[in-house]
Amino acid sequence: MTTRRIPPALWLAASLAMLLLGAWLGARFEHLLGPAVPAPAAHSASSHTAAQPEAPRKILYYRNPMGLPDTSPVPKKDPMGMDYLPVYEGETPAGKLVKVAPERMQVLGVTTAEVAARVLVRRVRAVGTVSVDERGLFTVAPRFEGWIEKLHVNETGKAVAAGQPLFEVYSPELVSAQEEYLLARAADGLVGPERRGRLAEAAGRRLANWGLAEADLAGLRREGQVRRTLPYRTPAGGVVLEKMAVEGMRFMPGEPLFRLADLATVWLIADIYEQDLAFVHPGQAATIRIDAFPGEDFAGRVSFVYPELKAETRTARVRFELDNPGGRLQPGQFARVELAAGHGGEPAVAVPEAAVLDSGQRQIVLVAFGEGLFEPREVRLGLLADGYYAVRTGLAEGERVVTRANFLIDAESNLKAALGSFGHAGHGGSPAGKQEPADKPEPAPVHAGHAPAAEPEPAPPESASGGPGGHGGH
């Protein structure tokens, strides 16, 4: 069967006829129905809306004009003199703030505290042992050879006073020196008076250099007779810590016979942890409690910080000095020491310790703006004292921080995602949990009856519910 082909000229004529017919029908319908006009009700509603004044917006806080993580509850300027920019309600970037529903806040028990300036005083506590004041130690060691004929102080722990006899000593050198002294004083007419005086003075100085007390030398002058034994007196008072002398023993020059200690003042040697050393300095007052005297406090003062750290315990020795009236404190007693450390009593911006979320690498606080809005903000902290951290940067006085349910808010609002956006995107970042690469291509549509040129990418999750991109079912 053969088909006749329609000439092109006939096709063109038919098309023009159809166009003319469509234009004539459109004009007839417009004439019958009239021109389209907007509805009066809609017009009046739009006019009323335009005439209504705009309600003032609520300012949440003021942000740094350079995009730094620093905000202020009141207007202020940055170090360059630029004004902080107001952030209105509803304009805050979703990636920076955390939103918690009011009913959830009530269930979690969220509490906040105001950031304020405080005088922080840190309590440093340590343990130590009472020790002898090394400046009050004295060793009795005669400067001549001799024998102990009689021992007056024969027990350890006995208290002796300066000038008290310790033992009676026989020494041939002392006997010879006494004879020389008496002969020099008795030499009348053998030598001139001036010469005689110098000899007697030299012999007396020799006895004094050997440790003979002035009282015994005056008795020798008064009696005029050589004494076989002489008392050896202690030049310093104190408590006998060690006694090496035994009655009848022979001693050599410089041999120690007694070891004395003046306990009117004692030391306390305490171990201070490495992280507390910066808050300890000489002259600092301390309160000391001795286990032997429960309920009683002793006043002490830091006298020296030893320049060596024990690697095993990470502690350094600190010496405290305290008075010991009546000799109640004894070397070796166990003690506890407490001292107040600060920085000159100057107030510092502080937040409660419970408000800080410490990840080990940085410290975060949740700043509360009301109506369930919280901002995770990184801060730099200083001294920790009395349950408060001194804040160096990141917070200002008057702001409020979350002190309870911090970790619950973290779990409730996926704070990790918010912090990730806060750390990378800064102001104006994408909402937490919905960030997508900016260069992600749109999936190419697949039309019915046409096969795709290449294997299509997997459809996004929305396409499974018939959302955008769900053309694959056609």
What the block records as the tokens of 359 is 């990840």
CATH number at residue 190: 2.40.50.100
- Read off φ and ψ for residue 363, nearest 5 degrees: -115, 135
59 lies in some domain: no
CATH number at residue 277: 2.40.30.170
358 lies in some domain: yes
**What residues of the chain score a pLDDT lower than 70?**
1-17, 19-55, 66-69, 89-96, 187-197, 342-345, 406-474
Can you tell me whether residue 183 is helix, strand or coil? helix
305 lies in some domain: yes
Question: From the DSSP assignment, how many helices (H) and strands (E) are in the chain?
Answer: 8, 26
Q: Assess whether 249 and 155 both reside in one domain.
A: yes
Structural domains counted in the chain? 3
In angstroms, the Cα distances linking 231 to 165, 176, 218 are: 6, 16, 13
pLDDT tens digit string along 106-119? 787 888 899 988 88
Picking from 255, 277, 305, the residue at the C-terminal end of a domain is 255
| Torsional class of 104: left (φ above 0), alpha (ψ -120 to 50), beta (otherwise) | alpha
Provide the strand spans (E) within 31-144: 59-63, 71-72, 85-88, 98-99, 111-114, 116-118, 122-132, 137-140
39 lies in some domain: no
> Where in the sequence is the domain holding 243, given as residue range(s)?
142-255
- Read off φ and ψ for residue 49, nearest 5 degrees: -65, -40
470 lies in some domain: no
Alpha-carbon torsion (248, 254, 259, 262), positive or negative: positive
Picking from 255, 270, 287, the residue at the C-terminal end of a domain is 255
Q: Assess whether 167 and 243 both reside in one domain.
A: yes
What's the one-letter identity of residue 113? Answer: A
Q: Assess whether 241 and 307 both reside in one domain.
A: no
31 lies in some domain: no
pLDDT of 138 reads 93
What pTM does this model have? 0.56
65 lies in some domain: no
CA 127/CA 272 separation, integer angstroms? 8
pLDDT tens digit string along 148-166? 999 999 999 899 999 999 9
Q: Assess whether 106 and 198 both reside in one domain.
A: no
CATH number at residue 390: 2.40.420.20
325 lies in some domain: yes
- Read off φ and ψ for residue 164, nearest 5 degrees: -80, 135
What the block records as the tokens of 79 is 């170090």
Picking from 255, 279, 298, the residue at the C-terminal end of a domain is 255
Q: Assess whether 247 and 200 both reside in one domain.
A: yes
CA 261/CA 137 separation, integer angstroms? 4
CA 458/CA 176 separation, integer angstroms? 119
CA 77/CA 427 separation, integer angstroms? 18
- DSSP for residue 465: G
pLDDT of 243 reads 95
Q: Assess whether 414 and 270 both reside in one domain.
A: no
CA 387/CA 383 separation, integer angstroms? 10
